[in-house]
């Protein structure tokens, strides 16, 4: 089907949201619709294309103007786009693809695979700037296969397609690339991916110039999964799942601990039944506030949901409820217990408190550690390391750099990163120079020469405000979060002073290791006294024995 794609593309069925909806009832009509879609893509237009778990917003990835147009309309500032390539050879032309990565790319799950960019590759500005990796996937639905095939043929027939660019060196390099399509989730910023045709026509009409779809309804929204192939030393290659969604969820994960308990109950003699572990109810685990996934535990099987999103958004919350209902019906589960995060202000925690069944509140980082224990069948105490951005601690502080001695039922905080203040609370995440000030204040480094560029960028008024908030304890929670330390380090180095998306500071800090991210303080940092780095290293060595003694 084509919406708003022009006349002569099959019989007009109706109009919706001001768009003419035309269906291809014959091979010729369907081919004409695809040809028109390709024509629009080559002209730098944006399409909304119906996929397996929702709509994608699509444009020519080698056309800088088209990429900029999509980014502006979608209100997606900074965050990298993923692309679709026709096959692994096309991906290999711009990225490094080894045998293990090719196997994952071409496997039945067809996830987005994060691949290292080739050093000599040229990409359209705004596609995945400053980063060492590009997310690449291959077609996995009939419509995608047809569109990618026809687009690639038309691209090559047009000698790479100029897309309105000037014939400069950069344009020539882009023209030498294989045909690539941006494939990003069909939604606006922070909203769930659109799955319904009518909803798509309403919500995406301001983003897409046309719609390409079919008559297959999408019952459940699924974003594309994101993975990376990593080296696990002597264990060989391993697939690191960044976002578990289409192709992976809702496949069950066996929980060996529960399975062992069930086997113990089944094998207990009648006289000793009282000594066997008691049967546990089915459990619904709500998941966290950000990057939510939930889980249903039925016996020894855990059904972990697809990526849902950030629960502060009302539409995401509704999508969470809808996915929960579908899982309970699909797997015939009626939970007898709810597990939620210890944080009292999470929407999921508040929802759990309103239920008429028992609720267990679990500390955020204990949950991280025990999830790994449960997956691998570990029941004895372990030393678990949990580093992240935010987790509510029993002491009321924000945890995130934790070393826990833990078993499945309890934990002891063995060690943690030192607490630092977050002046302004959540504002310190959006304005990492505030976080940098808090770190400098905590370690008495405000007068350090290396701190001067960041403090000047923060400004005297803002620095004074941060100082007052810290000294008076006003809206200044303390945190051990490694994520916040990454934010501070990125700001101190001039890499990310105004993040456009969550986690950008840490992402750019990682990319800066290979010199891909310029520093806003390049001139100031290079002019710093030559002994600054040496003094910092000596200071660290002097502090180390004291830290060991404290442990």
pLDDT of residue 495: 94
Q: How many CA atoms lie within 13 A of 389 on its CB side?
A: 17
Q: What is the full per-residue pLDDT of the chain (551 aa) written as tens digits?
A: 666 645 445 555 556 666 788 888 899 999 999 999 999 999 999 999 999 999 999 999 999 999 999 999 998 988 999 999 999 999 999 999 999 999 999 999 999 999 999 999 999 999 999 999 999 999 999 999 999 999 999 998 886 444 444 456 677 778 889 999 999 999 988 889 999 999 999 999 999 999 999 999 999 999 999 999 999 888 889 999 999 999 999 999 888 877 777 777 777 655 455 555 566 899 999 999 999 999 999 998 999 999 999 999 999 999 999 999 999 999 999 999 999 999 999 999 999 999 999 999 999 999 999 999 988 889 899 999 999 999 999 999 999 999 999 999 999 999 999 999 999 999 999 999 999 999 999 999 999 999 999 999 999 999 999 999 999 999 999 999 999 999 999 999 999 999 998 899 999 999 998 777 888 887 765 544 444 444 444 444 445 444 454 44
Long-range contacts of 424-430 (CB under 8 A, 24+ apart): 424/466, 424/469, 424/475, 424/476, 425/475, 425/476, 425/477, 428/484, 428/487, 429/389, 429/484, 429/487, 429/502, 430/499
What per-residue confidence (pLDDT) applies to 264?
74
Residue 21 is predicted with a pLDDT of 85
Q: ∠ CA 125-126-131 to the nearest 5 degrees?
A: 95
Give the chain's length.
551
Distance, C-alpha 432 to centroid of its chain: 20
**What are 362's two structure tokens?**
């679990």
Backbone φ and ψ for 185, nearest 5 degrees, come out as -60, 140
Looking at residue 531, its pLDDT comes to: 47
Bond before 250 cis per omega within 30 degrees: yes
Pairing of the two strands 283-285 and 237-243: unpaired
Strands 47-50 and 112-117: unpaired
The enclosing H or E element of 239 equals: strand 237-243
Contacts of 102 (CB under 8 A, 6+ apart): 88
Q: Which domains does the chain have, with CATH numbers?
A: 2-212 (3.90.870.10), 249-416 (3.30.420.360), 420-543 (3.30.420.40)
Residue 143: its pLDDT value, please?
A: 96
Q: Write the pLDDT tens digit of every residue in 343-397.
A: 999 999 999 999 999 999 999 999 999 999 988 889 899 999 999 999 999 999 9
Task: Give me the phi and psi of 245, to 5 degrees please.
Answer: -150, -120
Alpha-carbon distance values, 40 to 82, 95, 160, 521 (Å): 20, 27, 15, 42
Transcribe 191-235 into DSSP letters. Answer: SPPP--HHHHHHHSTTT-SEEE--SPPP-S--PBPEEEEEE-GGG
Q: Which tokens in the block code for residue 521?
A: 């303080």
Taking the alpha carbons at both ends of the chain, their separation in whole angstroms is 66
Instruction: Name residues whose C-beta falls within 8 Å of residue 486's C-beta, 6 or more positions apart in sequence.
Output: 505, 506, 509
């Amino acid at each position: 089907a084509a919406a708003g794609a022009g006349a002569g593309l099959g019989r007009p069925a109706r109009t919706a949201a001001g768009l003419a909806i035309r269906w291809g009832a014959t091979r010729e009509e369907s081919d004409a619709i695809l040809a028109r879609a390709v024509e629009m893509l080559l002209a730098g237009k944006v399409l909304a294309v119906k996929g397996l778990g929702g709509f994608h917003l699509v444009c020519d990835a080698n056309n800088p103007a088209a990429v900029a147009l999509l980014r502006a309309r979608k209100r997606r500032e900074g965050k990298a786009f993923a692309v679709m390539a026709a096959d692994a050879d096309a991906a290999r032309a711009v990225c490094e693809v080894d045998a293990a990565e090719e196997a994952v790319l071409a496997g039945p799950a067809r996830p987005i695979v994060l691949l290292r960019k080739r050093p000599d590759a040229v990409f359209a500005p705004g596609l995945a700037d400053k980063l060492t990796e590009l997310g690449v996937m291959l077609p996995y639905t009939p419509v995608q296969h047809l569109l990618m095939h026809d687009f690639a043929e038309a691209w090559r027939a047009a000698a790479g397609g100029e897309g309105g660019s000037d014939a400069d060196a950069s344009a020539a390099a882009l023209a030498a690339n294989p045909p690539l399509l941006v494939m990003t989730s069909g939604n606006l910023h922070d909203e769930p991916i659109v799955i319904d045709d009518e909803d798509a026509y309403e919500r995406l009409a301001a983003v897409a110039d046309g719609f390409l779809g079919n008559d297959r309804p999408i019952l459940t929204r699924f974003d594309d999964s994101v993975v990376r192939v990593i080296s696990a030393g002597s264990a060989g290659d391993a697939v690191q799942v960044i976002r578990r969604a289409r192709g992976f969820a809702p496949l069950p994960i066996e929980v060996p601990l529960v399975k062992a308990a069930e086997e113990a109950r089944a094998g207990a003699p009648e006289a000793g039944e009282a000594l066997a572990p008691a049967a546990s109810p089915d459990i619904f685990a709500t998941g966290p506030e950000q990057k939510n996934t939930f889980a249903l535990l039925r016996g020894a099987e855990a059904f972990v949901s697809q990526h849902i999103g950030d629960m502060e958004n009302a539409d995401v919350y509704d999508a969470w409820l809808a996915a929960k209902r579908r899982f309970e019906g699909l797997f015939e589960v009626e939970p007898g217990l709810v597990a939620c995060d210890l944080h009292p202000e999470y929407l999921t925690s508040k929802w759990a408190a309103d239920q008429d069944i028992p609720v267990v509140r679990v500390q955020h980082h204990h949950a991280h550690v025990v999830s790994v224990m449960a997956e691998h069948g570990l029941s004895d105490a372990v030393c678990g390391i949990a580093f992240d951005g935010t987790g509510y601690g029993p002491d009321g502080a924000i945890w995130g750099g934790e070393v826990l001695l833990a078993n499945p039922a309890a934990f002891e905080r063995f060690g943690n990163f030192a607490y630092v203040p977050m002046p302004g609370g959540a504002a310190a995440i959006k304005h990492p120079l505030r976080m940098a000030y808090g770190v400098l204040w905590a370690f008495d480094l405000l007068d350090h020469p290396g701190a001067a560029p960041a403090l000047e960028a923060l400004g005297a008024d803002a620095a004074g405000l941060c100082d007052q908030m810290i000294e008076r304890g006003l809206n200044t929670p303390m945190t051990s979060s490694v994520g916040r330390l990454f934010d501070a380090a990125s700001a101190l180095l001039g890499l990310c002073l105004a993040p456009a998306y969550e986690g950008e500071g840490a992402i750019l800090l990682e990319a800066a290791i290979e010199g891909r991210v310029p520093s806003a303080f390049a001139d100031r940092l290079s002019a710093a006294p030559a002994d600054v780095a040496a003094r910092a290293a000596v200071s660290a060595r002097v502090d180390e024995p004291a830290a060991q003694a404290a442990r």
